[in-house]
Amino acid sequence: MKSHKYLVLLGLAWLCSCTNLDEHLNQDLTKSEAEAYLNAHTDVNAILKSAYDGLRLPFLDQAQFWAAQEHTSDEVLGPTRGPDWDDNGVWRVLHSHQWTADHAFLSASFNSLLQEVFTSSNILNFNTTPQQAAEARFLRDFSMFAVADGWNQVPYRAPGENLLNAPQVLKGSAALDFVISDLTAILNDLPAAPPVNKANQDAAKVLLMKAYLNKGTFANRQSPTFDAGDMNQVISLADAIINSGKYSLDGNYFENFAPNNDANSSENIWTLATAAGVNPGPNTGNGVRSRWFCTLHYNQNPSGWNGFTTLSDFYDSFESGDVRKGGSYPGVTDVSGLKVGFLIGQQYDQNGVALKDRKGNDLSFTPEINPVETGNNLEVTGIRVVKYPPDFANGDFKDNDYVFFRYADVLLMKAEALLRTGNASGALDIVNNLRTVRNASQLGSLDLDGLLAERGRELYWEGWRRQDMIRFGHFLDARQGKAVSGPERLLFPIPAAALSVNPNLEQNPGY
């Protein structure tokens, strides 16, 4: 049966930015001829790059999935400052767990992640090498894991499915079963060696660890269970990474996030490339720079948006000598006076001159924050966070890769699996070895609450806190700026637009 040439044009239009096509469209083509033509003229590597770039919007934009994972936790708060940063309450309701079913940022996150699932899945419709297919499937699995984490329902199409039909929906542990099976199948087709900003075997092992660790949580977030077999899988995968000898804890903690961290870090396992001076294109968020722009004051260098802070209770969980709290950093402090880590108290420029706020008062950040629901805050309210040392050499398009997976997380996940299977002494040894490198004192004992606190100190602002707090049973607890919340807050609402076009989706309870 013949296909009209305008149908071929529709397919080509989707590919026009990443293919090299000749004008041979003056005749009707059969379906098989059209597929052969597209495969012959499609640059799969270019489409694969677009799938990597597609991770930028949901994960780098400060108003998408990162906000969903961090603003809802005990690590991040977006205070209202006069006319600044209220945005009709979108930040306040995340922290206080009062978001509604039409929250714009949550809907945008859901849509962006599903776009990435579709983009990476669609690559499998073309003639790929085994490695190209494995990379695409890894990117799809990572995005599906994120959707399952936030919404517990993952719309999914197998390659070649009729796009006129509604996608099937994988729910909870079924979504994780799919991810686990898929990652296991592709593991040997992924590269075993760097670059770290490409999907690789160790990245797949880390994602498998997270899937096994969270499997019982995704099945029942209110009463998680932790199967010994799943925990043993976490331990085995961790040992494979540890025994490879490729990674070690970096004595300079912030080197993991600094410019050129794809090459200089001894911990990074998988990052998102953000090459110096390269504009990744439209609709990709504000890049890694948003991690410091969203928190720094207007009068600091770099000038920021004077928005997000951490909470004093979280800051107080660090010991004074812990290097993760931050301090001076070469190439940053000597250039602008800015320190890295947590910024509290008077701020200075590179010459030691005290900075001022916009009214001429001392720019001295205070730990106190007025109540998030009703309180207005000054420009200086709140402890600021600079996890990524700013890149001063490359304009708006920075050379700091965005970090997804680190060796320290592998160690802490192994410690958690050991603890949940009764090996508290083994877990304590891992945590104390980590704390020694971070210049923190040794713990005498370790329980689950202590391990959650250590994960916070090690992985703060890296996008894992909501997931961790749910798994450890503390997400709904009262804390600074938030009362006890109901169990419906363990999941985000399915956007109304998604419900209207896919009858296989259903709204999550409480919305």
Is the model's pLDDT at 8 over the cut of 50?
Answer: no
Residues 242 and 101 in one domain: yes
Per-residue confidence (pLDDT) for residue 3, from 0 to 100: 40
Residues 72 and 146 in one domain: yes
If pLDDT is split at 50, 70 and 90, which confidence band does 1 have?
A: very low
The verdict on residue 138 lying in a domain is yes
Determine whether 414 is exposed, middle or buried from the number of CB atoms within 10 Å of its CB (0-12, 13-18, 19+).
Answer: buried
Count of CA atoms in the C-beta half-sphere (13 A) of 342:
27
Residues 25 and 149 in one domain: no
Of 392, 67, 383, the C-alpha closest to 258 is: 392
The verdict on residue 376 lying in a domain is no
The verdict on residue 343 lying in a domain is no
Helix (H, G, I), strand (E, B) or coil at 333: helix
Cα 391 to Cα 384: distance, rounded to the nearest angstrom? 18
Per-residue confidence (pLDDT) for residue 287, from 0 to 100: 80
The verdict on residue 10 lying in a domain is yes
Is the model's pLDDT at 315 over the cut of 60?
Answer: yes
Least confident range from 21-35, 304-318, 428-442: namely 21-35
Residues 33 and 128 in one domain: no
If pLDDT is split at 50, 70 and 90, which confidence band does 73 have?
A: very high
Determine whether 373 is exposed, middle or buried from the number of CB atoms within 10 Å of its CB (0-12, 13-18, 19+).
Answer: middle
Per-residue confidence (pLDDT) for residue 300, from 0 to 100: 98
Q: What percent of the chain has pLDDT over 90?
A: 81
The verdict on residue 174 lying in a domain is yes
DSSP E strands, 6-138: 29-30
Residues 463 and 493 in one domain: yes
Cβ neighbours of residue 432 closer than 8 Å, sequence gap 6 or more: 442, 443
Residues 35 and 182 in one domain: no
Mean pLDDT across 214-224:
96
Is the model's pLDDT at 268 over the cut of 50?
Answer: yes
Residues 243 and 168 in one domain: yes
Helix (H, G, I), strand (E, B) or coil at 241: helix
Mean pLDDT across 168-172:
94
Structure tokens at 172: 């909870």
Q: Which residue type, as a one-letter code, is found at position 489? A: R
- Quick: pLDDT tens for 484-505: 999 999 999 999 999 999 999 9
Cα 17 to Cα 283: distance, rounded to the nearest angstrom? 15
Residues 189 and 123 in one domain: yes
Per-residue confidence (pLDDT) for residue 22, from 0 to 100: 47
Of 324, 288, 264, 292, the C-alpha closest to 399 is: 288
If pLDDT is split at 50, 70 and 90, which confidence band does 133 have?
A: very high
Is the model's pLDDT at 178 over the cut of 60?
Answer: yes
Structure tokens at 192: 């075993």
The contacts found for 314-318 with CB under 8 angstroms, 24 or more apart, are: 314/74, 314/75, 314/456, 314/460, 315/342, 315/344, 315/367, 315/383, 317/453, 317/456, 317/457, 318/342, 318/440, 318/457
Per-residue confidence (pLDDT) for residue 84, from 0 to 100: 80
Task: Show the domain range for 32.
Answer: 2-42
Per-residue confidence (pLDDT) for residue 82, from 0 to 100: 79
The overall average pLDDT reported for the chain is 91
Per-residue confidence (pLDDT) for residue 40, from 0 to 100: 60
Per-residue confidence (pLDDT) for residue 16, from 0 to 100: 34
Residues 160 and 31 in one domain: no
CATH number for the domain spanning 239: value is 1.25.40.390
- Quick: pLDDT tens for 321-346: 999 999 999 999 999 999 999 999 99
* CB-based contact 253:178 (threshold 8 Å): no
Q: Is 462 left (phi over 0), alpha (psi -120 to 50) or beta?
A: alpha
Per-residue confidence (pLDDT) for residue 10, from 0 to 100: 36
Cα 511 to Cα 398: distance, rounded to the nearest angstrom? 39
Is the model's pLDDT at 211 over the cut of 90?
Answer: yes
Number of domains forming the structure of the chain: 2
Residues 96 and 229 in one domain: yes
Is the model's pLDDT at 129 over the cut of 60?
Answer: yes
Per-residue confidence (pLDDT) for residue 32, from 0 to 100: 58
Per-residue confidence (pLDDT) for residue 39, from 0 to 100: 58
Is the model's pLDDT at 364 over the cut of 50?
Answer: yes
Is the model's pLDDT at 398 over the cut of 90?
Answer: no
Residues 224 and 258 in one domain: yes
Mean pLDDT across 203-232:
97
Mean pLDDT across 64-75:
97
The verdict on residue 431 lying in a domain is yes
Answer with the residue of higher pLDDT: 268 or 279. Answer: 268
Mean pLDDT across 111-138:
97
Residues 176 and 260 in one domain: yes
The verdict on residue 307 lying in a domain is no
Antiparallel, parallel or unpaired: β 268-272 and 402-406? antiparallel
Helices (H), 438-479: 448-459, 465-471
The verdict on residue 252 lying in a domain is yes
